[in-house]
Chain A
């Protein structure tokens, strides 16, 4: 991906977490957790991964 574009990746978590109807649901559940919670926990990790990708692009 061109270096100039990578910072825009950081917008994705904003869409994923602020567009609430996207994930405000019970099913599917994972290990007893409703999807609402699964999605939020998964996005903690994904947002960190995206930040890491942008960070790498920064240094390169």
Chain B
């Protein structure tokens, strides 16, 4: 069975939805109108999104096209191990519930729009803020590139190659459109598009998890068939974890949960909420998306049960869609996945642009920007970031973006002590945190490199093997260095850098 199917109806449905969101994207500039020459209006939607909009925005932001393709691809390839995404996306919300309202409160009080702004204000250290900003930008670039890879898979499955235009042309068109409406509407564009995207995605997923198993003889049969498929592959993996996978499964879930809201796109969408209660309410209701992600992951097993054979695992879901649905609905599903790429890509480019403008450009190049100049620079940077990602996807091997994204997760975790601990205490000194960050970055990258760009390092004690997520190993060193260096830093440098926040800044404001 071929993974690729060209069909006019599918393409027509796809094109319709793509046009619809393009119109929405440009119209968004007028939605909840604000002065888009202010960075907090362009880059944070004016901090006015209520619980409902934020739910769609964050859902559309965190559950990306790459996730929708990569998670089932991993499950298709290695079984239960790929399900670490499930505990990951459950455990992230208690963390968000506890930490993000504090960040929102402090940032609102001081007009900050990035986590690096917060770090600079809290520790009075431009160096530490730069480290936070650079980490965010570095980790986001490959993530945007992977959204493009998601788009590419969709175009491939729709057989656009057969039209003789190659898969580059539609990719370029999609990205130019995305770049233009992000430029003109800022965060309002992905917020509005997220409604359409998430609704379509829920329809796609519900249809898939109801209809496909019926064709395959029920879920019992799906799991049985998947288990057999893994057994014929050698039985190193299966629909249950092997004991030597326990530690890597748990640490990957935990480490990823810690890292997620440190990413600029997550911070940006969180800070655009209209208040701390909106964030807490979302921590209660966002797990609905985790149910969906779990169901999407099951598509990997369904692909095995349906005897879908693809060499590239990321084609498993597109091929399954082609094999299971009539062309019009396949077009609908592909549009849903493609929009799943555009929403996060827009927010990621905005998040990176906010960081670059505020914490690199304004801090080091020109400190006397007017609000309008600041907003204009951010818009241009968002374009630059996206075209960089586009060039990377067109001219570099996909593996490069995947490897960098893996490193990005490890890197992102290294700002945890500065940002998250900083929300509670200023005991750690800026220079000690900087040293810890550097140690964590170096160790994390080196270990990942030494493992052949794999996320897990295996400790061997006698006969026992413990695979631990490298991000957490590096974070442990980061913490150790930060804690041990703090008394040293305090002795070397007596005066304390000014802390511009007070304890009350982190509390919810009293209602007027």
Tell me, in angstroms, the Cα distance from A41 to B285 when the chains sit together.
15
Check B80 for interface membership: any CB of A closer than 8 A.
yes
Is A40's CB under 8 angstroms from B93's CB?
Answer: no
Taking a contact as CB atoms under 8 Å apart, the answer to whether B240 and A26 are in contact is: yes
Inter-subunit contact A31/B219 (CB<8 Å): yes
Binds A, one of B245-253, B337-345, B389-397: B245-253
A to B contact number (C-beta, < 8 Å):
97
Inter-subunit contact A13/B91 (CB<8 Å) = yes
Q: Is A20 a contact of B241 with CB atoms below 8 Å? A: yes
The reply on B206 being an interface residue by CB < 8 A is no
Stretch at the interface among B39-47, B157-165, B177-185, B286-294: B286-294
Chain A residues 1-51 with CB under 8 Å of chain B are 7, 10, 13-14, 17-21, 24-26, 29, 31-34, 36-37, 40-41, 43-45, 47-48, 50-51
For chain B, the count of residues having a C-beta within 8 Å of the partner chain is 37
Verify A32–B218 contact, CB threshold 8 A: yes
A51 adjacent to B239 (CB under 8 Å): no
B44–chain A nearest beta-carbon distance, Å: 24
Q: Is the interface of A mostly helix, strand, loop or mixed?
A: helix
Query: On chain A, which size bracket covers the interface?
Result: 20 to 34
Cβ A40 vs Cβ B239 within 8 A: no
Min CB distance A21 to B, Å, is 6
Q: Contact at B97–A48, with CB atoms within 8 Å? A: no
The 10 closest A-B pairs by CB, nearest first: A32-B219, A32-B220, A17-B87, A10-B94, A20-B246, A48-B287, A18-B250, A40-B86, A52-B284, A44-B290
Binding site for A on B (CB under 8 A): 80, 83, 86-87, 90-91, 93-94, 97-98, 218-223, 239-241, 243, 246, 249-250, 253-254, 277, 280-281, 283-285, 287-288, 290-291, 294, 298
Which residues of A are in contact with B by a Cβ distance under 8 Å? 7, 10, 13-14, 17-21, 24-26, 29, 31-34, 36-37, 40-41, 43-45, 47-48, 50-52, 54-55, 58-59
Q: A18-B254, A25-B240, A34-B239 are in contact. List 6 more A-B contacts (CB 8 A).
A: A18-B253, A24-B80, A29-B220, A32-B221, A40-B86, A48-B285
